[in-house]
Amino acid sequence: MIKPKISVIMSVYNGEKYLREAIESVLTQTFTDFEFIIVNDGSTDGSLETIQSYDDERIRIVNNQKNIGLTRSLNKALEVVKGEYVARQDADDISLPGRFEEQIKYFEEHPEVALLGTSVYIIDEDGRVIGKNIAVPDPTNTLRRRNPFTHGTVMFRREIVDKLGGYNELLKYSQDYELWLRVAKYYEVRNLTAILYKLRYHGESIWCKNTEQAALYSLLAVKIARGSLDKGMLRDLESRGVELSHSYLTKSERIKLYKTVARTYIRNNNVKLAREAYRKILSLGSLDFESLAYILLSQLIRCIHGRWYKVHSILKSVLKSILRWFERSSL
């Protein structure tokens, strides 16, 4: 193949259920000058057979004999890409047909931008749209507070990420967030407000199965970016796993961790686990108004099954109004 404009990279581990939809969403893009690197990360289901069923010269398969994880698999893909740009795609999500075309157009009009995400529809296991997330166009000022990019939507200039060393293999999760923080330290990063991707929420996704661990890695990504990662913590992270890093977190970092966990459970309509996360905040001796309010509210609305996420959105507005009232009263 002549050097393509885009290299699409996707890692698959036992993702047979949604894999065909993901692959076809890439192959049917209106922008066709790309190669598609698919890493089969030691799958034990029919994922490899699904990939091999496609007769498309743009597909290149990297087959891991054993599972090595998303971070290392993505770096393996980056080692073989040929394109000027790299686009991510997750194996359970869907890129809308004009995604690549819109992102390349933006890059060509904005040569100062190194990394570009998009807004997303949120879909359930059956592909039904259950929400949307309109991304902040310029997330520079909020980047260290939260990850403003959906990993699967991101496209970046390959030369820049090569220069920065790719994904940090210390991080099992939030490897994308840590990389975006490094990119943003030296280059411009942006999001398109256009919805060009469908992000699937399902019980097997990382943020559903490993919510607290994923949130902990997200905190570590910020500490790495700030250069504030304690050497002892770094050694523990390398040799014994991320859970031991709890002892290195400040009280405010633990509160932030459990709030991230609680809000994730709320998005996944798991009121019980959200309540437990908020209780952990209170157990730290923090008189946190948000935690108290959610614990009380969750007890009162048990009868409103399946509508917790909507209630959460309404409650956020109410809480902001109440907090502003407290601030004015204290003046």
pLDDT at 305: 46
Cβ-proximal residues to 192 (8 Å cutoff; 6+ apart), any chain: 102, 103, 106, 116, 117, 118, 119, 135, 137
Instruction: Using the predicted structure, report yes or no on whether residue 242 has a pLDDT greater than 60.
Output: no
Q: Does position 189 have pLDDT exceeding 80, yes or no?
A: yes
Average pLDDT score over the chain:
85
Over range 251-266, report the average pLDDT.
81
pLDDT of residue 326 exceeding 50: no
pLDDT for residue 259 is more than 50: yes
Helix axes 289-300, 308-329, angle to 10 degrees: 140
**Is a pLDDT exceeding 70 seen at residue 103?**
yes
At 323 the pLDDT is 44
Q: What is the pLDDT of residues 192-210, one digit of tens each?
A: 999 999 999 866 655 456 7
Tokens of 98: 């004009």
List all residues 6 or more positions away from 224 whose beta carbon is below 8 Å from its beta carbon.
Answer: 168, 170, 178, 181
Question: Structure pTM?
Answer: 0.80
Residue 314 pLDDT greater than 70, yes or no: no
The angle, 0 to 180 degrees and rounded to 10, between the axes of the packed helices 251-267 and 289-300 is 30
Could you tell me which residues come within 8 angstroms of residue 143 by beta carbon, excluding any fewer than 6 positions away?
Answer: 180, 181, 184, 189
pLDDT value for 170: 84
Task: Give the separation between CA 211 and CA 265, rounded to whole angstroms.
Answer: 8
| 295 has a pLDDT exceeding 70 | yes
pLDDT tens-place string over residues 54-66: 999 999 999 999 9
Domains and CATH numbers, the chain: 6-205 (3.90.550.10), 253-331 (no CATH)
Q: Quick one: tokens of 163?
A: 């220069």
**pLDDT value at residue 40:** 98
What is the number of alpha carbons within 13 Å of residue 135 lying toward its C-beta? 29
pLDDT at 178 (0 to 100): 94
